[in-house]
Amino acid sequence: MKKKIHLSLILCFLAIILISTNMISASEDDNTEKAGNEQTATDFYEYSITILSDDWFNYTVKEKILMLQIDDDTLRTMSDRQLVYAIADYPYLVNMYLSDSMEKGFNSLSETCSALKELMSRESGVESLNTYGNEIISLYKTTPRVDGQTEFVSNALKDLISYYNN
């Protein structure tokens, strides 16, 4: 009887070791994949201030819009994909809906959002907005934004894509 209990304990111990080893291996695979995604994510422009910043309400709208401008040297070195992600992250994306017409709203946004202005100045701008805008919309279906603006940003990107394709 003691041999059976001893054998059972050994088998349980081995099973735990095997399961743990598989879990660690799977975890390392996940971390490798996440690290790859994080590395890609760091390629995207990070605004110096966002709605989640502690000091967001310490500035006027005009001051924040100036702070949100991406300098020309950085804009020129950004890929189309980086620009589209910067547009999606632009804190005043909502402003395109605050004019008395959609056309005025889109024009106003392109004046305040340097990433959109740069993207639309490129020959590949509209195509990249389609490609990467839809990439972001698909991404948001499985990975919601931290700021809770997933649905809004997805709809705004759809509207931008529609506007620039007409």
> pLDDT at position 62, please?
95
Q: Which of 5-19, 76-90, 132-146 has the highest mean pLDDT?
A: 76-90
Check pLDDT > 70 for residue 83.
yes
Report the percentage of the chain scoring pLDDT > 70: 74
> pLDDT at position 10, please?
40
CB within 8 Å of 130: residues ≥ 6 apart: 161, 165
Q: Measured between alpha carbons, how far is 97 from 112 in angstroms, rounded to an integer?
A: 14
> pLDDT at position 143, please?
87
Q: 13 or 136, which is more confident?
A: 136
Check pLDDT > 80 for residue 57.
yes
User: Hunting for tokens 């992600």 — which residue is that?
Assistant: 85
Q: What is the pLDDT of residues 100-146, one digit of tens each?
A: 998 999 999 999 999 999 999 999 999 999 999 999 999 888 888 87
> pLDDT at position 43, please?
60
pLDDT band at 22 (very low <50, low <70, confident <90, very high): very low
- Do 45 and 70 contact (CB within 8 A), yes or no? yes
How much is the average pLDDT of 43-57?
Answer: 89
- Do 15 and 30 contact (CB within 8 A), yes or no? no
Is the model's pTM score more than 0.75?
no
At 52, list the tokens: 């989640």
Q: Please state the domain extents for the chain.
A: 1-42, 46-164
On the 0-12 / 13-18 / 19+ scale of CB atoms within 10 A, 139 is middle
Mean pLDDT for the chain overall: 79
How much is the average pLDDT of 90-107?
Answer: 93
> pLDDT at position 148, please?
81
